[in-house]
Amino acid sequence: MRIAYLGPSGTFTEEALLSEASLAESTHIAKSTITEAMTAVVEGSADAAFVPIENSIEGPVNETIDQLAFSSDLLIQREVVLDIHLDLMSAPGTPISSIQQVLSFPHASAQCRGFLREHLASAAVGATGSTADAARIVAETDQSGLAAIAPPLAAKLYGLEVIAHGIEDFEANQTRFVLVGRDTVPAPTGHDRTTIVCFQGADRPGSLYAILGQFAARSLNLTFIESRPTKLALGQYCFVVTVEGHVEDDILGECLMELRLEIEDVKFLGSYPVPGEAASKHREQVASNRQRARRWLGELRARVEHE
Amino acid sequence: MRIAYLGPSGTFTEEALLSEASLAESTHIAKSTITEAMTAVVEGSADAAFVPIENSIEGPVNETIDQLAFSSDLLIQREVVLDIHLDLMSAPGTPISSIQQVLSFPHASAQCRGFLREHLASAAVGATGSTADAARIVAETDQSGLAAIAPPLAAKLYGLEVIAHGIEDFEANQTRFVLVGRDTVPAPTGHDRTTIVCFQGADRPGSLYAILGQFAARSLNLTFIESRPTKLALGQYCFVVTVEGHVEDDILGECLMELRLEIEDVKFLGSYPVPGEAASKHREQVASNRQRARRWLGELRARVEHE
Amino acid sequence: MRIAYLGPSGTFTEEALLSEASLAESTHIAKSTITEAMTAVVEGSADAAFVPIENSIEGPVNETIDQLAFSSDLLIQREVVLDIHLDLMSAPGTPISSIQQVLSFPHASAQCRGFLREHLASAAVGATGSTADAARIVAETDQSGLAAIAPPLAAKLYGLEVIAHGIEDFEANQTRFVLVGRDTVPAPTGHDRTTIVCFQGADRPGSLYAILGQFAARSLNLTFIESRPTKLALGQYCFVVTVEGHVEDDILGECLMELRLEIEDVKFLGSYPVPGEAASKHREQVASNRQRARRWLGELRARVEHE
Amino acid sequence: MRIAYLGPSGTFTEEALLSEASLAESTHIAKSTITEAMTAVVEGSADAAFVPIENSIEGPVNETIDQLAFSSDLLIQREVVLDIHLDLMSAPGTPISSIQQVLSFPHASAQCRGFLREHLASAAVGATGSTADAARIVAETDQSGLAAIAPPLAAKLYGLEVIAHGIEDFEANQTRFVLVGRDTVPAPTGHDRTTIVCFQGADRPGSLYAILGQFAARSLNLTFIESRPTKLALGQYCFVVTVEGHVEDDILGECLMELRLEIEDVKFLGSYPVPGEAASKHREQVASNRQRARRWLGELRARVEHE
Spell out which residues of chain C touch residue B221, defining contact as CB-CB under 8 Å: 206
Q: Which residues of A204-226 are buried (b: 16+ CB within 10 A; e: fewer)?
A: eebbbbbbbbbbbbbebbbbbbb
Strand partners, C80: C177
Please report, for chain C, how many H helices and E strands are present, in that order. Answer: 11, 17
Cβ–Cβ contact D113 with A under 8 A: yes
pLDDT the model gives residue A210 = 86
Torsion angles phi and psi, residue A80, rounded to 5: -130, 135
Give the chain D residue whose CA is nearest to the CA of C285: D261
Other C-beta atoms closer than 10 Å to the C-beta of C145 total: 14
Give C83→chain B minimum CA distance, Å: 10
Distance set, CA D13 to CA B90, D7, D190 (Å): 92, 7, 26
Q: How far apart are CA C140 and CA C91, in angstroms?
A: 10
Give the chain B residue whose CA is nearest to the CA of A250: B254
Contacts of D298 (CB under 8 A, 6+ apart): none
Q: What would the 3-class secondary structure string for D226-279 be?
A: EEEECCCCCCCEEEEEEEECCCCCHHHHHHHHHHHHHCCEEEEEEEEECCCCCC
In chain D, residues 65-84 whose CB comes closer than 8 Å to chain C: 75
Q: Are A131 and A101 in contact (CB under 8 A)?
A: no
Burial class for B43, CB neighbours closer than 10 Å (0-12, 13-18, 19+): exposed
Cβ–Cβ contact D262 with C under 8 A: yes
Give C227→chain B minimum CA distance, Å: 6
pLDDT of residue A53 exceeding 90:
yes
Give me the half-sphere count of Cα atoms (radius 13 Å) on the Cβ side of residue A60.
Answer: 25
Give the chain C residue whose CA is nearest to the CA of D212: C217
Cβ–Cβ contact B185 with A under 8 A: yes
Q: How far apart are CA D231 and CA A110, in angstroms?
A: 13
Distance of CA B70 to the CA centre of its chain: 16
Strand partners, D271: D194
Of D206, D213, D233, the CB nearest to A172: D233
Give the chain B residue whose CA is nearest to the CA of C230: B57
- Residue type at A210? A
State the complex-level ipTM.
0.82
Torsion angles phi and psi, residue C125, rounded to 5: -115, 120
Q: How far apart are CA C249 and CA C280, in angstroms?
A: 14
Give me the half-sphere count of Cα atoms (radius 13 Å) on the Cβ side of residue A71.
Answer: 19
Q: Pick out chain B residues at pLDDT < 70.
A: 202-206, 276-283, 307
Distance of CA B255 to the CA centre of its chain: 24
Cβ–Cβ contact D222 with A under 8 A: yes
Q: Are B197 and B206 in contact (CB under 8 A)?
A: no
Which of helix, strand or coil describes residue B63?
helix
Of D129, D209, D237, the CB nearest to A213: D209
Q: Give long-range contacts, CB 8 A cutoff, 24+ apart: A267-270.
A: A267/A69, A267/A196, A267/A197, A267/A199, A268/A75, A268/A194, A268/A196, A268/B300, A269/A68, A269/A69, A269/A75, A269/A76, A269/A195, A269/A196, A269/A197, A269/A240, A270/A75, A270/A76, A270/A77, A270/A180, A270/A185, A270/A194, A270/A195
Contacts of C247 (CB under 8 A, 6+ apart): C185, C194, C253, C256, C268, C271, D297, D300, D301, D304
How does pLDDT run across A170-219, given as a tens digit for each residue? 888 899 999 999 988 998 888 899 999 999 876 555 578 889 989 988 88
Q: Are C256 and C246 in contact (CB under 8 A)?
A: no
Assess whether the previous peptide bond of C8 is cis (omega < 30° from 0): yes
Q: How far apart are CA A129 and CA D44, in angstroms?
A: 34
Spell out which residues of chain D touch residue C307, defining contact as CB-CB under 8 Å: 187
Q: How far apart are CA A188 and CA A53, in angstroms?
A: 21
Q: Do C219 and D289 touch (CB under 8 A)?
A: no
- As a whole number, the mean pLDDT across chain B is 89
Q: How far apart are CA D120 and CA D132, in angstroms?
A: 21
pLDDT the model gives residue C280 = 52
Q: How far apart are CA D162 and CA D86, in angstroms?
A: 10
Comparing CA positions, the residue from D251, D253, D262 lying closest to residue C301 is D253
Comparing CA positions, the residue from A210, D253, D295 lying closest to residue C261 is D295
DSSP for residue C220:
P
Q: How far apart are CA B52 and CA B15, in angstroms?
A: 11
Torsion angles phi and psi, residue A184, rounded to 5: -90, 155
Other C-beta atoms closer than 10 Å to the C-beta of B2 total: 15
Calculate Rg over the CA atoms of chain D.
Answer: 23
pLDDT mean for each 10 residues of chain C (307 residues): 92 93 94 93 97 91 93 94 94 94 89 92 88 93 91 94 94 92 89 92 70 88 88 86 91 89 90 72 70 83 81
Spell out which residues of chain A touch residue D235, defining contact as CB-CB under 8 Å: 56, 223-224
Comparing CA positions, the residue from B306, D11, D303 lying closest to residue C246 is D303
Q: How far apart are CA A276 and CA D234, in angstroms?
A: 13
Element (H, E) at D48: strand D48-55
How does pLDDT run across D258-269, given as a tens digit for each residue? 898 888 889 999
Report helix angle C208-216 to C250-262, nearest 10: 160
Q: Do D247 and C188 touch (CB under 8 A)?
A: no
Q: Are A195 and A222 in contact (CB under 8 A)?
A: no
Comparing CA positions, the residue from A212, A218, A219 lying closest to residue A198 is A212
pLDDT of residue A79 exceeding 70:
yes
Contacts of B140 (CB under 8 A, 6+ apart): none
pLDDT the model gives residue C282 = 60
Per-position DSSP letters for chain A, written without gaps between them: -EEEEE-STTSHHHHHHHTSHHHHTSEEEEESSHHHHHHHHHHTS-SEEEEEEEETTTEE-HHHHHIIIII---EEEEEEEEE---EEEESTT--GGG--EEEE-HHHHHTTHHHHHHH-TTSEEEE-SSHHHHHHHHHH---TTEEEEE-HHHHHHHT-EEEES---S-S--EEEEEEEESS-EEPP-SSEEEEEEEEPPTTS--THHHHHHHHHTTTPPEEEEEEEE-SSSTT-EEEEEEEES-TTSHHHHHHHHHHHHHSSEEEEEEEEE-SSSTTHHHHHHHHHHHHHHHHHHHHHHTTEE--
Report helix angle D208-216 to D250-262, nearest 10: 160
Element (H, E) at C223: strand C222-229
pLDDT the model gives residue D168 = 92
Distance of CA D290 to the CA centre of its chain: 31
Cβ–Cβ contact B123 with C under 8 A: no
Give the chain C residue whose CA is nearest to the CA of D269: C300
Rounded to 5°, the CA angle D17-D22-D26 comes to: 70
Q: How far apart are CA C27 and CA D51, in angstroms?
A: 75
Comparing CA positions, the residue from C105, C101, C107, C87 lying closest to residue C151 is C87
- Cα-based torsion angle of the residue sequence D121, D123, D129, D134 in order, rounded to the nearest 10 degrees: -110
Q: Do D184 and C305 touch (CB under 8 A)?
A: yes
Comparing CA positions, the residue from D41, D44, D13, D35 lying closest to residue D108 is D13
pLDDT the model gives residue B298 = 84
pLDDT the model gives residue C156 = 94
Q: Pick out chain D residues at pLDDT < 50.
A: 279
Q: How far apart are CA A30 and CA A10, in angstroms?
A: 10
Q: Are D193 and D245 in contact (CB under 8 A)?
A: yes
